[in-house]
Amino acid sequence: MPEATVPFKIFRYKQGQNAGHYDTFDVPIDEDTTVLVALQTIRRDQDSTLMLRHSCHHASCGTCAMLVNGREELPCVVNVLDLRSSPVVVEPLRNIPLVSDLVVDMTDFYARVNPADRPYVRHSEFLPWAQTPDGIDSYSRFENCIECGACVSACPISGTDPDYYGPAALAAAWRVVEEPRGRQPQQALNWVDNEKGCWRCHVAFECTEVCPSGVDPGGKIMALRGELSKQKLRGLFGFGRR
């Protein structure tokens, strides 16, 4: 039984239109209805032209990321009643090219996070030469990244500088440094050591705030800076390696 009807104000845009607009739909919900299910209900019962992306329905795939009331969220795990707002405003991710309605084009994002010449997504099977860090408590795997794009959407630098590599790609680079597993850490460090890379970040950590998977991309960017700074000091003053 529906417990309530909640208005949803949804960003709409189709290819060829000059600008987007918002449509409002009243959606019956119950105590278990998530924002994603509400959007699917709209698509099924009210407007089949509403475009959105989703897959797993349980925060594992990152496919459905979008703005809910102005914040980057995975709508599959946002309960509508928990929002306590009316209307619920739903918009596509920022800083990623818009395709239609709530759908953005992730092509460039995926290419930056896992470039063909520096593959960061690795098989997780044990490799004999794998380096495992001391102390599992101080270690978070980049493989936690579900490539949702929320960090790039929240990053003000990604919003103003399309050449900035962005928090997800930089966090992926740190994973190669942190745990090389046969990759070349210096290659990753060289890639980020410029004004499109880790030095462009302005250290406000919006990316870390919105990451649904605990990757802490802002912290990883600081780790890249720390490692590069150590290398530069060693070069200047001839410090020995730690």
Tell me which residues touch ligand SF4 (CB under 6 A).
Answer: 62, 145-151, 154-155, 157, 167-168, 171, 201-207, 211, 213, 215, 217-218, 221
Distances in Å between the Cα of 236 and the Cα atoms of 70, 227, 230 are 46, 14, 10
**Minimum CB separation from ligand SF4 for residue 60, in Å?**
11
**Minimum CB separation from ligand SF4 for residue 215, in Å?**
4
Instruction: From 63, 69, 72, 78, select the one nearest 158 (Cα to Cα).
Output: 72
Q: Which is nearer to ligand SF4, 2 or 97 (CB)?
A: 97
**Minimum CB separation from ligand SF4 for residue 107, in Å?**
14
Q: Which is nearer to ligand SF4, 89 or 148 (CB)?
A: 148
Residues 6+ apart with CB under 8 A from 18: none
Q: Which is nearer to ligand SF4, 27 or 211 (CB)?
A: 211
Contact 127, 49 (CB under 8 A): no
For the purposes of burial, counting CB atoms within 10 Å of the CB of 241, is it exposed (0-12), middle (13-18) or buried (19 or more)?
A: exposed
**Minimum CB separation from ligand SF4 for residue 135, in Å?**
22
| Beta-carbon-side half-sphere exposure of residue 183 (alpha carbons within 13 Å) | 23
Distance between CA atoms of 166 and 113, rounded to whole angstroms?
9
Q: Which is nearer to ligand SF4, 52 or 65 (CB)?
A: 65
**Minimum CB separation from ligand SF4 for residue 62, in Å?**
6
Q: Which is nearer to ligand SF4, 148 or 188 (CB)?
A: 148
